[in-house]
Structure 1
Amino acid sequence: MNPTVSSRPGYDQALVARLWNYANVLRDNGISGLELIDQLSSLIVLKRAHEQRQRPLNGQDILGFDAWAQLTSTERDHLIPAYERILGLLAARPGTLGLLFRRAQNRIPDAALLHRLIVDVVDGYQWSSAGIGDVFEALLARMSTDAKTGAGQYFTPRPLIEAIVQCVQPGINDTVADPACGTGGFLIKAFDYLVDHFPSGVTEAQRKRLDQGAFFGVELVDATARLATTNLVLHGVTRADETPPCITVGDALARPPGRRASLVLTTPPFGRSSTSEETYREDFWTLTTNRQLNFLQHVHSLLETDGRAAVVVPDSVLFEGGPGELIRRRLLAACDVHTLLRLPTGIFYARGLKASVLFFDKPEPRPDGSPSTTRLWVYDLRSSHTATAKPTAQSGPDYSDFVSAYRPGRPHSERVETPRFRSFTVDDLLARHAINLDLQVAEPPPGPFALEEPEADLHRMAQEITAELGAALAEFASLAEALRPYGVHADGPDREAER
């Protein structure tokens, strides 16, 4: 970890453009943008290890052999078996290195294309240089727009993550966790914030903890876990030879957390459970098939006492009845649910998806048994006439006014109400039908807590169902892409393969 860095370097846009242009070549051969990034992540790690091995001072032998030299010196006709042998060898390694190559496969069946990617593209750049992590992030951002693969479900918009991190202010003593880490955006931005605000007088024990164990996450999908781990390595959050890895592959909801965190930042996967089975855990408040509600319960159990969290949720979590009502009631009681950010539509991969960010802390239970929540502040960035700026393709919505209104590091009592930022007492919240937290600030109904008209409520529910179906289809598309055999194009079978 380098505490002297004070700002994020700009990334090499020409390199990003060249790498993504190569995706067009591969796409003509039935290889998706997601598969290109997957291949790049493996090759970048190998090239980076070669660079570290060749350093004249403080050289490191990460792999135990020079895999990159083997690849670049192998004749083209023998390149594919040599590459696949290296992938299999490294996948058997322990720790982070094994995770970087866990179930990795060669997705480029044409030796000439693979040789071109290795020699003409990857080999020409220094992957240990400053800012290379931002290049990888830019590639992931482009990948997230590929609707055919459903890759966007693993990518939370980085401007939103940065705004959330600015609000929660990760500190030197924090343990930061993301139980649905996707490509690692929350962990990286929390690390960047900490580096940029690194305090003086840090002890050696604190430095060691930051290097080993201060950041950890869970990811369900192997390929995505590889991308996240590569991303963390390139950003300096972890090392390729670190043991154990900071990312765990598996279902975060399967069992109670083995360790806890003081700061949890996450965007749980949207959509219903594909098995329609209720998740049973003794530490959960209730059973439900709704994954977002289960993740909300999981985040509560993952938090240390006095920990804090920010969770991106679809709006259905705010108003769904049955188990949803009970979970919201218990959350208001057990945690200080102090801030809700209503996000604009259109910033996620599923069109029309309405989502919000819940900020809450987990204090000690009150001696009198009263709810830990006293007042919920709601900021509306969704209504057109309250948005601070129109979103752009590059930057997305402007979150600066929300961050200012949040007043990071200041008592909530110092907040000031505005037309887009209002507060509601916990008694008002508990009095609402089904503990409905879908609170509209900019366009309040005639009464402060009047229910919507039935037609409007049904329309909203229909929109949420449509968004969940879109999310489910994206997940199936991503799975189909990952299981697609070699020689089969994304839009149909390869004629040569049929012969």
Structure 2
Amino acid sequence: MSTTSRQLVAKLWDYCDVLRDDGVSTIDYVEQLTYLLFLKMAHERSHRSLRPDLALRPVGDCWQTLLDSQGQDLENAYRDILVSLGTEPGTLGMIFRRAQNKIQDPAKLRRLVVELIDRERWSGATTDVKGDAYEELLAKSAEDIKSGAGQYFTPRALIAAMVECVQPGPDDTVYDPACGTGGFLLGAYDYLLHHHGAELTPGQRRDLVHGKICGTELVTGTARLAAMNLFLRGVGTAHGQPLIDVRDALARPYGGHPSVILANPPFGKRSSITVIGEDGRTGREDISYSRHDFWVTTTNKQLNFVQHIASALGVSGRAAVVLPDNVLFEGGAGETIRRRLLSEFDVHTMLRLPTGIFYAGGVKANVLFFDKRQARPGKPWTSTLWVYDFRVGQRFTLKQNPLRAEHLADFVACYQVGKPRDTRTETERFRPFSYDELVTRDKVNLDITWLRDPAADDDDSPMPPDVLAREIVDELQSALAEFAAVADVLAARAATRAE
């Protein structure tokens, strides 16, 4: 991130401490910044001397209204503006959908408007400065564990490695069914510009910012952050079709067949749903939907995201998905899904991730890479699954030792981006497993490990107390998550029997 971006972030973030005393959480603060930054940028674009964007003039005039107001009049004007813009169509309406003023002190609101935002020229800044600054604000908000914002934030180093392996190209359509704050979508866009920017045709460039990169997000507040994150990079327009669809991605099949899917579906509690899969069975809880494109019925949210991604991916498409360990070994529906995935898709690479890299504690996760091929009954598409164990012997924390790009450099090198997979070389951490080996494992268990943690064998070099304490907490949280999942299943079965 540039010095200018850091200065901008520091300037805006310092004010968060002032507002926190009034009960404004970090994620609420970033949300308020989203509204005000949009209004300021609309004002700048609609009033510039050369080629003003007259379509934005009504929105831009809202900023002047805020500048001219004080006290209760300012609070009233801000509230009315949020309500009015929330009824607009396109990206504009999506960003302001259900927007509320969380800054109840008019004096502090005026300082934010006049002293912190109005003094910067946001439209004059490069997209890198604006985008990097906003990304850093999102990262800071994710550190607020109490707000739960971290669940929507995937480490950017992991995103970059996944995007580099999948290699989105100018003609690809990129989709994220659980896009959070838009990290994967932004990662794909930056990759495309860096590797193909000079060769993009006018049509490809237009398509790139008007629908070739899109996502779905269940939570309205998070969707608006994703839309703004893309908007600051030049992806999407104020009055154009929203690139983020605010809904439950699992509720119905996706309306297209993207060629690239990048995702980190939500972990944690299972969805309260009724699912009807192609097996005709019903798993019942509180919300109903029917997905006959699913292979099997389950109320496990993570397994359903695997099925959703598999059904949405276009032929010859590539997917890279972050999945918790239970997806790899859970029996019943989990086994059925793994068998179908190995048979009908080319499941070629898995990256086992260490703990300590996600804001949600206790998460043991993996990245599964798979491609979709034309159907060929009787012959599985998966021939070899290469597993890279990045978990054993690795110690990360969010602040003292965060995951960085260099930590994943060896995995990317082993992946051999753009080269035939039969040229891959086995290493201590990178091993191949044949289709026959995989399907003969108990319940097609893909939770594969062969390395021993050196710390467990080295009595002379005990782990530092803080690392040991963090691992104990992670293990306990992971165990609680497993027990919660079992409790959800038992409750669902009890409800079914009661009917």
Specify the TM-score bucket, using the shorter chain as the normaliser: 0.7 to 0.9
Aligned twin of 1:54: 47
Per the TM alignment, residue 206 of structure 1 is displaced from its structure 2 partner at its CA by: 2.6
* Residue from 377, 384, 387 that aligns with 1:378: 387
* Residue from 339, 342, 347 that aligns with 2:352: 342
**d(CA) in 2 for partners of 1:123 and 1:461?**
47
* Residue from 44, 57, 81 that aligns with 2:37: 44
**d(CA) in 2 for partners of 1:435 and 1:470?**
24
Identity of aligned residues (%): 51
What letter matches 1:299 in structure 2? I
Per the TM alignment, residue 395 of structure 1 is displaced from its structure 2 partner at its CA by: 3.3
Aligned twin of 1:454: none
Aligned twin of 1:249: 246
Aligned twin of 2:466: none
**Structure 1 residue 26 corresponds to structure 2 residue 19:** yes
Does 50-59 or 312-321 show the bigger shift? Answer: 50-59
User: Match of 2:370, SS?
Assistant: strand
Per the TM alignment, residue 467 of structure 1 is displaced from its structure 2 partner at its CA by: 4.0
**d(CA) in 2 for partners of 1:385 and 1:264?**
28
CA deviations 1:405-462 (Å, max 9, x no partner) are 1111111111111000001001100000011001114239xxxxxxxxxxxxxxx997
Per the TM alignment, residue 120 of structure 1 is displaced from its structure 2 partner at its CA by: 1.4
Q: Comparing both chains, which one has the higher relative contact order based on Cα–Cα distances under 8 Å and sequence gaps of 6 or more?
A: 1
1:93-112 superposed matches below 5 A:
93-112=88-107
Aligned twin of 1:326: 336
Aligned twin of 1:178: 176
User: Match of 1:148, SS?
Assistant: helix
**Structure 1 residue 353 corresponds to structure 2 residue 350:** no
Per the TM alignment, residue 359 of structure 1 is displaced from its structure 2 partner at its CA by: 0.4
Gaps of 5+ in 2: 275-282, 284-288, 454-473, 486-499
Aligned twin of 1:411: 420
**d(CA) in 1 for partners of 2:428 and 2:103?**
54
* Residue from 291, 303, 326 that aligns with 2:301: 291
Aligned twin of 1:17: 10
What letter matches 1:63 in structure 2? L
Q: 1:15 to 1:313 in 2, by over 3 A?
A: same
Does 141-150 or 270-279 show the bigger shift? Answer: 270-279
Does 34-43 or 63-72 show the bigger shift? Answer: 63-72
Q: 1:62 to 1:28 in 2, by over 3 A?
A: farther
TM-score under structure 1 length normalisation: 0.85
**d(CA) in 2 for partners of 1:234 and 1:201?**
23
Aligned twin of 1:447: none
Judge conservation of contact 2:40–2:122 (CA < 8 Å) in 1: yes
**d(CA) in 1 for partners of 2:151 and 2:323?**
13
Aligned twin of 2:278: none
Judge conservation of contact 1:350–1:467 (CA < 8 Å) in 2: no
Aligned twin of 2:471: none
1:131-210 superposed matches below 5 A:
131-198=129-196, 202-210=200-208
CA deviations 1:263-283 (Å, max 9, x no partner) are 000110102324264464100
Judge conservation of contact 1:350–1:470 (CA < 8 Å) in 2: no
**Structure 1 residue 71 corresponds to structure 2 residue 66:** yes
**d(CA) in 2 for partners of 1:10 and 1:309?**
35
**Structure 1 residue 402 corresponds to structure 2 residue 397:** no
What letter matches 1:75 in structure 2? Q
Judge conservation of contact 2:362–2:475 (CA < 8 Å) in 1: no
What letter matches 2:16 in structure 1? A
**d(CA) in 1 for partners of 2:103 and 2:233?**
27
1:253-264 superposed matches below 5 A:
253-264=250-261
The structure that is helix-richer by fraction is: 2
CA deviations 1:372-408 (Å, max 9, x no partner) are 1110000111111699xx9824737711111111111
**d(CA) in 2 for partners of 1:46 and 1:85?**
13
Aligned residues: 446
CA deviations 1:269-316 (Å, max 9, x no partner) are 102324264464100001111111000000011100010100001111
TM-score under structure 2 length normalisation: 0.85
Judge conservation of contact 1:49–1:62 (CA < 8 Å) in 2: no
Per the TM alignment, residue 463 of structure 1 is displaced from its structure 2 partner at its CA by: 6.0
Gaps of 5+ in 1: 1-7, 445-459, 472-499
Judge conservation of contact 1:16–1:138 (CA < 8 Å) in 2: yes
User: Match of 1:197, SS?
Assistant: helix
User: Match of 1:422, SS?
Assistant: strand
What letter matches 1:360 in structure 2? F
